[in-house]
Amino acid sequence: MNQFIEWISQPWPWYVAGPMIGLTVPALLILGNKSFGISSSLRHICAACVPAGIPFFSYNWKKEMWNLLFVLGVGIGGFIAMNFLANPNTIVISEATQADLSALGITSFSDLMPSDIFSWSNVFTAKGLLFFVIGGFLVGFGTRYAGGCTSGHAIMGISSLQWASLVATIFFMIGGFLMTHVLLEPLMKLVGF
């Protein structure tokens, strides 16, 4: 059992993890004619919790219960992985990336998320407002505007040959490159990082 725990807690190479994620698409289609995506679960949660007067949330959300269980499983799996299967080794980040992040004031490289940004002490600061509130709103708005999230478009949409998903994924990538190479540094300086 210890060998299994040790094996499963190690980072999996791309050629194992990638095909496992990719095989989710045909499995969902074959087993239940379901589409892979995460962002739609928020709509289902709102439809279940919000009074039925809003037309966008007036539909039979119970038909999509599988999606809510999928998201719950992702959350439970993340909790188990973080608390019981965490890899004790330092995360490997290239020296060039470490230098770029250090220039922006991000110096902790031991966690999956840099504690210099994602910590409780930053929640009620200008950094917290920028990263958590404004950033969260922009991600939510972009997801809704694009008709789905990056996983839904890039994994499900492209594999089912949807032109809109290819276009959305291209613009997700352009936006990511633009943010990383053009906007990140001025924004970090703006909030005093």
- pLDDT tens for each residue of 61-88: 888 888 889 889 989 998 988 788 877 6
Helices (H), 85-149: 95-103, 126-128, 135-146
How open is the CA angle 15-20-25, to the nearest 5 degrees? 130
pLDDT score at 51: 67
pLDDT tens for each residue of 142-151: 887 888 888 8
Q: Tell whether 147 is covered by a domain.
A: no
Number of folded domains that form the chain:
1
Residue 164 lies in a domain: no
User: What confidence score (pLDDT) does residue 39 get?
Assistant: 81
Closest CA to 192 of 98, 104, 100: 104
The mean-pLDDT minimum among 67-76, 82-91, 123-132, 174-183 falls in: 82-91
- Determine the pLDDT at residue 52: 67
Instruction: Judge whether 45 lies within some domain.
Output: yes
95 falls within a domain: no
- At residue 31's C-alpha, the angle toward residues 27 and 37, to 5°, is 55
Range of the domain at 18: 1-89
- Please report whether residue 105 resides in a domain: no
pTM to 2 decimals? 0.69
